Chains A and B, each alone.
Chain A
Amino acid sequence: MAEMIIKNGVVYDPKNGIDGEKNEICIKDGKIVENVGAGAKIVDAEGCVVMAGGVDGHTHCAGKINTGRIMSPHDMRYAPIPGLSGEEPRTKLLRPQVGYNTPNTYAIGYRYSKLGYTSIAEAAITPMMARHMHEEFEEIPILDKLGLVLMGSNWQVMQYIQDKDPEKLKAYMAWLLLASRGYGVKIVNPGGGSSWTWGKNVSGLDDKVVDFDVTPADILIGLAEANEALNLPHSIHVHCNNLGVPGNISTTLDTMKLLEKVKTKRDRQVMHVTHVQFNAYTGTSWMDFASGAQDVADYINKRDHLTFDMGQLMFGPAMTMTADGPTEYRNARMFDAKWSNYDQELEDAGGVVPLNYTSQHFAHATMWSIGLELALLVKDPWKVMFTTDNPNGGAFVNYPEGQALLMSDKKRQEVIAGFPDMTMDRISLPNIDRELDWGEIATMTRAMSAKMLGLEEKGHLGVGADADVAIYNIQPDKVDPSVEHEKIKKALSFAKYTIKGGEIVVRDGEITATPKGKVYWVNAYENGITPAEKDRLMTDLEERFKKYYSIQLSNYMVEDAYLPRPVEIRPEVI
């Protein structure tokens, strides 16, 4: 297969300790290799920054997003960012593209690639709906994909935790990953999903879940310990209780503290806390609501058992979508917005609601500040993933804006200057002058996210890594990100080159090839669970399906036909 060598670029590869060195990157058979022959194709990265392809470890890109599309035909024509949004006709190479917050599948693949991203993780799918996720995955070109499977309100999960039967819980979790061809364990508002089927919710870690003798704390610990017993590549991935509620910082900190006691054999966190911006609020109501970023950051700076992502808010229209059903109903009633809801029998809840964030509202301005504060106040970039919780906080095509903001205090102050006065005593961002450098940005957008997910061949440029590379048109010694915001944003929006699996897919910000990506999934069932445990589980499954599900057990599991290019990961049994 063709060989390639990337020359003259300034390389940022945090995992391998490379921080802005002029290195050559050699590629063969879709992998990074030591060296290549004289005939290798030369990619000249003179005057450019070279990084591994971006890894988005938390995005809503397949499944629930389709409800968002159906609700928002106006979004298809919305084009605030030329080249990365709105309508684009088909070409000889490309399928047509539409949309901004809820673009069609082709636009998702092309536009992430233009940003230099090459892998994405769908953040929330119920096992029963996993087939739908895989159908959309197949139509998202170029990118590698994986899906996180909702388990935090699942009847059987809660039953086994209530029964104190960790072995059966383990077997069931492994079976759910197999059945959904999923990658990791997602927990959204633990216990709240099943309570929402009665129109109720849980209000904190020690609240009893309706119909079960368990609490959100029991669910978190039960799933986290089983996750580690299965030795899964990713930790539990947690959306805390009380999202979007003033004063929720206490629940968030309690959740973080709760997980201190969980141990892992892997070199990673035991919990990833997602979109923390939405969970770092002090106060008792929207009137005295303020940023709790400092307290969250102080805690995270002292501890090493967790990672988090920002959930940065971007001004303008957004489409919120989450398994947190009660939160979406509250959003819809609060803003008189249209409301979609989906209660998934035995598994979880969900909702989709469009919102509009404006810099002229103190609450939104405060939320915008909190996301940035979190990323800037936490000292170690290996604990922080850059996200907007796409498209909850904003569409992923705004990532360059968010990343450039992290690099420029001046630009942040300009934005803050336009905020309503009511914002100022609620935020600490005006006093934070930290500006991230390229190494830190590379960490938060690829190195950390790949490590956090346990994707060993992603997020770095060492020998053996996948040849997923992003090359941006920036001379780091000539361009000063702290004053040249627009230049940085433009360079990050339209990669000079994006290379996926050793093939050039973007050149000068335009798509040049559209290979199909792979889908990663974790099989901990085949060699992780004993035959006796499997039998014990099957008896339960047969009964559950017969009595409660609306689909037959034999029709439940995602068939191989839905993963034409699978990457099956079998964790080592411990």
Chain B
Amino acid sequence: MPVIKDVVCTLCGCLCDDLEVTVEDNKITKVGKACKLGRAKTMGPFLHERIEKPMIRDNGELKECSYDEAITKAAEILVAAKRPISYGWCSTSCEAIEKAIMLAEETGSLIDSTANVCHGPSALAAQEKGAPTCSLGTPKNYADLVIFWGCNPVHAHPRHQTRYSTMAKGAFTPNGKKDRKMVVVDPRNTDTAKKADLLLQLKPGTDYVLIEALRAIVNGHEDVLPDEIAGLPKAKVLEFAEMCKAAKFGALYFGMGITQTRGRYKSGDNVASLISDLNQITKFVMIGMRGHYNVTGFGQVAAWETGFPMAIDFSRGYPYYNPGETGTNDVLMRREVDAFITGAADPGAHFPQESIKHLFNIPVIQIDGYANPTTEFSDVVIPAAIAGVECDGTAYRMDCQPIRLKKLVETTFKTDEEILTEIIAKVRELKGAEGAKGGA
């Protein structure tokens, strides 16, 4: 049986690249070394129903059509729109993301990633204070203290702790877990927290306060702190601060509990300040626990192509960026956009109701391998190959490490990159025709 080794998993930002995939008769029959989530993702094309055919909504019903018809319809919608927006692109390859950006340029569109409802505030925090971070292999070899703040890797990044953090064995941590302490900061007693050496079960929404208190202690001002901080006794906060100061190499991993809690980017910004302060005493870094496997890649590609990592508006001809004004949910809630194209994402399942309401009122184009809640209100649905299973490409791990995705099986589905390239060509053709009309 042909086994493909060192396959890159395309589920979460861990981008584990050691999977062993068995392929028989162009079908994946076994996925070794992956976590449950990764196995389901990699075997997905053979476990779940696909969107089999392109579809266009007609009188309320999605009706099958050819790729050409769907691509033409998508291009027509985008060309006719005054203020289109493109959203998602985080579970696909960088090569597809480049095309999505080119299409947005071509149509004077906005373009944004799933970071809009996820780690977007981490980018804003980096704009305020920078991002003192490292590659995932650095804490594996060095860290004697790992902190999970507002994230739950046991469920969201199942192999993170064995491959890169808590249990990982490395040069200065040959005994894995025995060589380090693990701290969880979370209002919930999560499955990650149950294994922690110290759990700080803070009051929801008080992360900023706790960070500020830690900074006060690290900078030698513990006397100004009250007896209770963020719902925790001062002694416990002091204990945590002492652990940080005593560590030789500390790694703070953070999730939505920092980015989407009260204070949003200000919390991330203060984490960066705490890390900077701790480096006066020892070595400390922070790493965002990115969810979608290539959401980091979107930020990277968008930054080198447009200068900005997300929330980019091409309506002026050059990239304009002002999150809060140009983020996907900003423009949806203001009912400002009149067409929506999404790929490799599911806004239908993750957006606030007010945004979804507007999506019901405007034409929606979906490019995806699988049907999801977004399909229910999409007007054009274009099925795509699954990157990392049915086509190759590039993805960036949560630590910005680029890795080449592998193609494991043949497919008749077009790739995201191909679909977007064809839409761009169609848009150019339509705009050219319009231009000629205008001239006559």
Partner of A550, one of B137, B282, B283, B321: B137
A339 with B276, Cβ < 8 A, contacts A70-B126, A70-B299 known: yes
Closest to B108 in A: A90
* Of B8, B138, B285, B392, most A-chain CB atoms within 10 Å: B138
CA distance A343 to B18 in the complex (A): 23
- B116 smallest CB distance to A (angstroms): 16
CB-contacts of B99-139 with A (<8 A):
105, 123, 126-138
Which chain B residue has the least Cβ–Cβ distance from A140?
A: B304
Interface of A is mostly: mixed
Q: Is B201 in contact with chain A by the CB < 8 A criterion? A: no
**Cβ of B51 under 8 Å from chain A:** no
- Is there contact, CB below 8 Å, between A550 and B5? no
Determine the main DSSP class of B at the interface with A: mixed
A132-B402 contact in complex given A198-B249, A547-B170, C-beta closer than 8 Å? yes
A286 located at the interface, meaning its Cβ lies under 8 Å from any Cβ of chain B in the complex: no
For the complex, give the distance between the alpha carbons of A256 and B178 in Å: 46
Question: What residues of chain A lie closer than 8 Å to B248, measured between beta carbons?
Answer: 198
Q: Does A333 contact B (CB under 8 A)?
A: yes
Give residues of chain A (28-82) contacting chain B, Cβ–Cβ below 8 Å: 62, 65-67, 69-73, 75-76
Question: Which of A66, A198, A548 has most chain B Cβ within 10 Å?
Answer: A66
| Interface hit among A92-100, A372-380, A387-395 | A92-100
Contact of A76 among B126, B134, B319 (CB under 8 A): B319
User: Which segment, of B150-158, B213-221, B307-315, faces chain A?
Assistant: B307-315
Q: Would you call A102 an interface residue if the criterion is a C-beta within 8 Å of the partner chain's C-beta atoms?
A: yes
- Which residue from chain B places its CB closest to the CB of A86 in the assembled complex? B318
With both chains docked as a complex, state the minimum distance between the C-beta of A552 and any C-beta of chain B, in angstroms: 4
Judged by a CB distance under 8 angstroms, whether A128 is at the interface is yes
- When distances are taken between beta carbons in the complex, the residues of chain A under 8 Å from B131 are 67, 70-71, 340-341
Quick one: which of A71, A196, A342 contacts B135, CB cutoff 8 A?
A: A342
Flag whether A24 is at the interface (Cβ < 8 A).
Answer: no
Tell me whether A102 and B307 are in contact (CB under 8 A): yes
Q: Is the CB of A338 within 8 A of B128?
A: yes
Report if A103 contacts B (CB, 8 A): yes
Q: Does A424 contact B (CB under 8 A)?
A: no
In the complex, the answer to whether B133 meets A198 with C-beta atoms within 8 Å is no
Shortest CB distance B81–A (Å): 18
Q: Within the complex, what minimum Cβ distance (angstroms) separates B174 from chain A?
A: 9
CB of B40, distance to nearest CB on chain A (Å): 22
CA distance A154 to B133 in the complex (A): 19
The listed residue (A132, A337, A548) touching B141 by CB distance below 8 A is: A548
Chain B: interface residue total (CB-CB under 8 A):
64
B138 near A345 with CB under 8 A, answer yes
- Specify which of A65, A95, A344 is in contact with B138 (CB 8 Å cutoff): A344
User: Considering the complex, which residues of chain B in the window 317-370 have a beta carbon less than 8 Å from any beta carbon of chain A?
Assistant: 317-321
Q: Are B137 and A551 touching (Cβ within 8 A)?
A: yes
Q: Is the CB of A69 within 8 A of B303?
A: yes
Does A105 make an interface contact (CB < 8 A)? yes
Cβ-defined partner of A129 (8 Å) among B17, B307, B309, B402: B402
B306 near A71 (CB under 8 angstroms)? no
Chain A residues near B282 (CB-CB < 8 A)? 199
Given the interface pairs A105-B304, A345-B138, A345-B141, the reply to whether A548 lies near B133 with Cβ below 8 Å is no
Q: List residues of chain A with CB within 8 A of the CB of B137.
A: 345-346, 548-551
Contact with A along B255-285 (1 / 0, CB 8 A): 0000000000000000010001001101101
A104 to B302, CA, bound (A): 9
Q: Are B307 and A340 in contact (CB under 8 A)?
A: no
Q: Do A76 and B317 touch across chains, with their CB atoms under 8 A apart?
A: no
Interchain CB contact under 8 A, A132 and B318 = no
Q: Assess the A131–B404 pair: CB atoms within 8 A.
A: yes
The answer to whether B94 has its CB under 8 Å from any CB of chain A is: yes
The answer to whether A96 touches B317 (Cβ under 8 A) is: yes
- Residue contact B305 to A105, C-beta cutoff 8 Å: yes
Q: Is the CB of B134 within 8 A of A342?
A: yes
Which of B123, B300, B316 makes the CB contact (< 8 A) with A89?
Answer: B316
Pick the contact of B318: A65, A89, A344, A551 (CB < 8 A).
A89
- Against A, the Cβ 8 Å flags (1 = close, 0 = not) of B131-175 are 111111110111000000000000000000001100001110000
B33: min CB distance to chain A, Å: 11
Determine if B130 and A339 form an interchain contact, defined as CB atoms under 8 angstroms apart: yes
CB distance from B268 to the nearest CB of A (A): 12
Does A508 sit within 8 A of B, measured CB to CB? Answer: no
Indicate whether B400 reaches chain A with its CB closer than 8 angstroms. Answer: yes
CB distance from A200 to the nearest CB of B (A): 8
Given A73-B321, A131-B402, A346-B137: A197 and B283 interface contact (C-beta under 8 Å): yes
Minimal Cβ-Cβ distance residue in B for A198: B283
Tell me, yes or no, whether A136 is within 8 Å of chain B by CB.
yes
Docked CA distance A352–B400 (Å)? 15
Task: Across the interface, name the chain B residue whose C-beta is closest to A67.
Answer: B131
A329 and B128 form a contact (CB under 8 A): no
A344 to B283, CA, bound (A): 14
Q: Which of B170, B309, B318 contacts A98 (CB 8 A)?
A: B318
**A131 CA / B404 CA spacing, docked (Å):** 9
Contact B401 A550 (CB under 8 A): yes
- Residue of B105, B132, B283, B316 with most partner-chain A CB within 10 A: B132
Known contacts A104-B305, A104-B307; 16 further A-B pairs (Cβ under 8 A)? A67-B131, A89-B317, A90-B317, A96-B318, A104-B304, A106-B305, A132-B396, A197-B134, A198-B249, A333-B280, A342-B134, A342-B135, A346-B137, A547-B169, A550-B137, A550-B164
- List 13 A-B residue pairs with CB atoms under 8 Å apart, sorted by A's residue number: A62-B304, A70-B309, A198-B248, A332-B276, A338-B272, A340-B130, A341-B130, A341-B134, A548-B170, A549-B137, A550-B137, A552-B17, A555-B17
Instruction: Spell out B's residues near A (CB within 8 Å).
Output: 5-6, 8, 17-18, 94, 98, 105, 123, 126-138, 140-142, 163-164, 169-171, 248-249, 272, 276, 279-280, 282-283, 285, 299-301, 303-309, 314, 316-321, 392, 394, 396, 400-404
Sorted nearest first, the 6 A-B pairs with minimum C-beta distance are A89-B317, A345-B137, A550-B137, A199-B283, A343-B134, A338-B130
Residues on A facing B (Cβ under 8 Å): 62, 65-67, 69-73, 75-76, 87-90, 95-99, 102-106, 128-129, 131-132, 135-136, 139, 196-199, 329, 332-333, 337-346, 352-353, 547-552, 554-555, 559, 561
